[in-house]
Amino acid sequence: MNLDLTEDQSMLADSIERFGTERWPAADRWRLLREAGAKGVPELWGEIAELGWLMIPFAEEQGGLGGSFDDAMVLASGIGKHLLPVPVSTNAVLVAPLLKDCPAEFLEDVMTGKVRVALALGDGDSRFDHLNVATTAERTGAGYTLNGVKNFVADGGDADHFIVPARTSGSGAELEGISLFLLSRESDGLTVETYRSIDNHRHCRLRLSGAETGSARLLGEEGKGGLPLGMAVKGGVLAQCAEAVGAMDALCNLTLEYLKTRSQFGQPIGTFQSLQHRMVDMFIAYEEAYSITVRATLEAKEGVMDRGRMASAAKAKVGQTSLFVARQAIQLHGGIGTSDESVVSHYLRRLTMLDMALGNASHHLQRFAAIA
Amino acid sequence: MNLELSPEDLAFRDELREFFAGAVRPEYRTAIRAGLRPTPQQLTEWQATLAERGWGAPTWPKEYGGTGWTPTQLYIFETEAARADAPIQFHQGLELIGPIIFTFGTDDQKERYLPRIISGEDWWCQGYSEPGAGSDLAALSTRAVRDGDHYVINGQKMWTSYAHVASHMFCLVRTSKEERRQQGISLILVDMNTPGIKIRPVETLDEKHHTNEVFLDDVRVPVSNLLGEEGKGWGYGKVLLDRERAVGASTALRLRSQVDAIYSAARRIPFGGATLADTPAVATQLAQLEIEALTIETMVMRLMADAAAGVDSGPRASMLKLRWSETLQKVTELWTEVLGYDAAVFEDLSGEGVPEDMPLALQGALYARVTSIYGGSSEIQRNIIARRSLGL
């Protein structure tokens, strides 16, 4: 039993810390984010690819750095801490295991940031139940024709390809019969509606009406995509938990700093006990979120088969505690915390979206209860 | 990073599992799951059973009769104890005064007291709080005046848990008046059979006698019973409080089986064609509490890792104590809620018998109120974290 980061992981954490501090400094972040606006900061994706970070979630056989859950945790947590607007959790961690059989050149393009892939979620009315797939795939000629709606393609706004779960057989939330397709953004019969979320991430909705795909675009075996999809979502859930934990870390520390420097009634506001106790509760929430995330991450790494129960525990707990921390941080900052100028407000926007993505706390609590 | 146990640790776990399977008496199980202690007699028996196996003092170094276990081994021990619903060893001798004696005591004190703590022959209680000194412990006013080879102690202690069964009390007393209130306080070991000690039970809302007032009236204690240096007792006292929080590790690992107890109760209660456990309201609350328990368990792992690395674990232990007590309160409240009308049957007056979990579930819920007060209240714990860890 060892909960310390390995030497490699510490080095990775340091390198993200440097990048975050230099390239995306806290004092300028609000301005950078505002300037970026709806177009986002696409150049950052190439920069982090150059640092090799996009290789982390891919297995060694794929030319990646191993794809271990705890490495991804370190990566995502650093990104969350610096509020880096790079969708690593979704465009790398979430999709990596699903691309394992893709040609080497394609994988290289993904890992070097030339090509972006996003996973299409939010099928029809399924809300957060990712295995509840109504989109259909019918064999037509050499390939398949897809019909359906995907409401939430996580960070799909700038993606070149989409992984689309569709039914080749079965119905409802049956595991059997889900197939995964890799679909180019340019496919015929595919309409992409891009939108921006409050954290300035760029997602999209896919409307598939007779979208065509060649047979080579089937990922894995026909009808056997349910299990890998569930596993991939689990990895994505864990990475998003880590990202939120990194954000909580930053929020706790910058709020503590504010309590020590902001004066009212002739003294630092951190001398008031009611504020001290709130601050302590924020740090406890962080400790809880960190603990359950590490636990779920390491159990996943060690192959504990629990149908994602521990990952759901983490997602629920992290959702609750991270929003608590972000809301408290604003309260302790007072009016300035609500302003666009304060990075605190950006953290709440991001954490609100992180809680929602891949299922919010309430969904994962129900899921945890259902697996019991 | 990994959670995996080494082959040696796995073998150790199996050894413990086998031991607990044979040694734990199932009749205490419901009480333990309700967060209640077995009777002092049962606890003494359990202590003797562990001592016989060589495991009487799991956290002590070998040279004082302890196991010398690593933090990981200790974690495994507590996890297995929890899994088997074993009684939790009474901590006031083992975790509070024992370590102070082997750290600051004389050779004579070590020889006299340590083996009898491990064997369970002596029962120690903690003479700290007073009517005017609760959270503000430094306000204590019980005095010890030197008279030849003795100290003469006068004063009153309050909330002295298990004073009524204790053979000894470690007592904070004022030996001189100094400028700073924390100075001039000494730690003295008192034999409870000494003339001048009077114990009055404090009746509590759970109707379980566990705490007392202790009156000290011209109690003469040999000077050799002073622990460490005169006037330095506050420093030792603070070390004690840190260990008291660390005790949280052993109790916190019980939460999961405590949640299991509610699952069992909810599953046996029919409701709307299914069971109470199937209703969304109950299922969601149970899920939430199980997640809290899993989180707290992992916080214990991190606390153990701190201990192994020799890092100041005080603030993290305070966090653990806070979250454990709050969660235990919620668990026992939900248990009582799940029992419905059964929770009204606290004492059987007709010889019909009481439902399986009663009165223990409700007694546990009422007893749990004190867990966020004793050993430093939740508010004091927050003050400690704010000061020691956050620099506020």
- Does one domain contain both B285 and B379? yes
In chain B, count H helices and then E strands.
14, 10
- Domain hosting A70: range is 7-111
A2, A4, A8, A280: best mutation site toward chain B, by most B Cβ within 10 Å?
A: A280
In this structure, what DSSP letter does residue A7 have? H
Locate A12 and state its tokens. Answer: 């990775």
Among B244, B292, B297, B333, which one carries the catalytic annotation?
B244
- Does one domain contain both B195 and B268? no
A51 belongs to a structural domain: yes
- Does one domain contain both A252 and A343? yes
Q: Which of A76, A111, A146 is the last residue of a domain?
A: A111
- Contact in structure between B255 and B296 (CB atoms under 8 Å): yes
> CA–CA separation, B346 vs B365, rounded Å?
13
Determine the pLDDT at residue B146: 97
Q: For residue A310, list chain B residues with Cβ-Cβ distance below 8 A.
A: 294
Residue found by looking up tokens 């509840």 in the block: A132
Tell me the pairing of strands A202-213 and B197-202. Answer: unpaired
Taking 50 as the pLDDT cut, the residues of chain A under it are none
Determine the pLDDT at residue B244: 55
Q: Give yes or no for residue B3 having a pLDDT over 70.
A: yes
Pick the closest to residue A110 from A79, A10, A119, A213 (CA basis).
A119
> CA–CA separation, B138 vs B353, rounded Å?
48
Q: Which of A205, A223, A241 is the last residue of a domain?
A: A223
Mean pLDDT across B285-302: 96
- Domain hosting B254: range is 247-389
Residue B147 binned pLDDT confidence (cut-offs 50, 70, 90): very high
Q: For residue B13, list chain A residues with Cβ-Cβ distance below 8 A.
A: none
Pick the closest to residue A217 from A163, A267, A254 (CA basis).
A163
B2 belongs to a structural domain: no
Q: Is B213 a catalytic residue?
A: no
pLDDT tens-digit readout, B325-359: 999 999 999 999 999 999 999 999 999 888 888 88
Q: Give yes or no for residue B246 having a pLDDT over 70.
A: no
- Does one domain contain both B58 and B151? no
Number of structural domains found in chain A: 3
DSSP of A142-169, one letter per residue? TEEEEEEEEEEETT-TT-SEEEEEEESS
Would you call A1 and B294 a contact, using CB atoms and an 8 Å cutoff? no
Find the CATH number of the domain harbouring B344: 1.20.140.10
Number of structural domains found in chain B: 3
Locate A174 and state its tokens. Answer: 């049956």
B317 belongs to a structural domain: yes
A255, A287, A293: best mutation site toward chain B, by most B Cβ within 10 Å?
A: A287
Instruction: Report chain B's mean pLDDT, rounded to a whole number.
Output: 93
Comparing alpha-carbon positions, the chain B residue that sits nearest to A1 is: B3
Q: Which of A223, A247, A270 is the last residue of a domain?
A: A223
Q: What percent of chain B has pLDDT over 90?
A: 84
Contacts of A329 (CB under 8 A, 6+ apart): A251, A252, A254, A255, A282, A337, A344, A347, A348
Measured between CB atoms, does A363 come within 8 Å of chain B?
Answer: no
A55 belongs to a structural domain: yes
Q: Which of residues 257-276 of A touch B (CB under 8 A)?
A: 259-260, 270-271, 273, 276
- Does one domain contain both A244 and A127? no
Determine the pLDDT at residue B239: 67
- Contact in structure between A314 and A358 (CB atoms under 8 Å): no
ipTM of the modeled complex: 0.96
DSSP of A179-228, one letter per residue? EEEEEETT-TTEEEEEEE-TTS-EEEEEEEEEEEE-GGGEESSTTB-HHH
- Does one domain contain both A241 and A218? no
- Does one domain contain both B253 and B227? no
- Does one domain contain both A44 and A60? yes
B168 belongs to a structural domain: yes
Q: For residue A283, list chain B residues with Cβ-Cβ distance below 8 A.
A: 319, 385, 389-390
- Does one domain contain both B255 and B382? yes
A338 belongs to a structural domain: yes
B101 belongs to a structural domain: no
- Does one domain contain both A332 and A259? yes
B242 belongs to a structural domain: no
Q: Give yes or no for residue B26 having a pLDDT over 90.
A: no
Output Rg (C-alpha) for chain A, integer angstroms.
Answer: 21
- Does one domain contain both A210 and A235? no
Residue B230 binned pLDDT confidence (cut-offs 50, 70, 90): very high
A2 belongs to a structural domain: no
Determine the pLDDT at residue B169: 98
Q: For residue A295, list chain B residues with Cβ-Cβ distance below 8 A.
A: 3, 294-295, 297-298, 301
> CA–CA separation, A365 vs A312, rounded Å?
7
Determine the pLDDT at residue A1: 85
Q: What percent of chain B has pLDDT over 70?
A: 97
End-to-end CA distance of chain A: 26
Q: Which of B89, B114, B147 is the last residue of a domain?
A: B89
Task: Spell A162-190 as b/e; 16+ CB within 10 A means b.
Answer: bbbbbbbeeeeeeeebbbbbbbebebeeb
pLDDT tens-digit readout, B78-96: 999 999 999 999 999 999 9
Instruction: Give the relative orientation of helices B314-339 and B233-246 as an angle to the nearest 10 degrees.
Output: 50
Residue B306 binned pLDDT confidence (cut-offs 50, 70, 90): confident
Q: Give yes or no for residue B245 having a pLDDT over 60.
A: no
A357 belongs to a structural domain: yes
Q: Which of B202, B232, B262 is the last residue of a domain?
A: B232
- Does one domain contain both B265 and B329? yes
- Does one domain contain both A49 and A153? no
Find the CATH number of the domain harbouring A163: 2.40.110.10
Find the CATH number of the domain harbouring B181: 2.40.110.10
Would you call B3 and A281 a contact, using CB atoms and an 8 Å cutoff? no
Locate B340 and state its tokens. Answer: 């419905």
- Does one domain contain both B297 and B206? no
> CA–CA separation, B378 vs B320, rounded Å?
11
Would you call B385 and A299 a contact, using CB atoms and an 8 Å cutoff? no
Residue B237 binned pLDDT confidence (cut-offs 50, 70, 90): low
- Contact in structure between A281 and A328 (CB atoms under 8 Å): yes
A1 belongs to a structural domain: no
pLDDT tens-digit readout, A264-318: 999 999 999 999 999 999 999 999 999 999 999 999 999 999 999 999 999 999 9
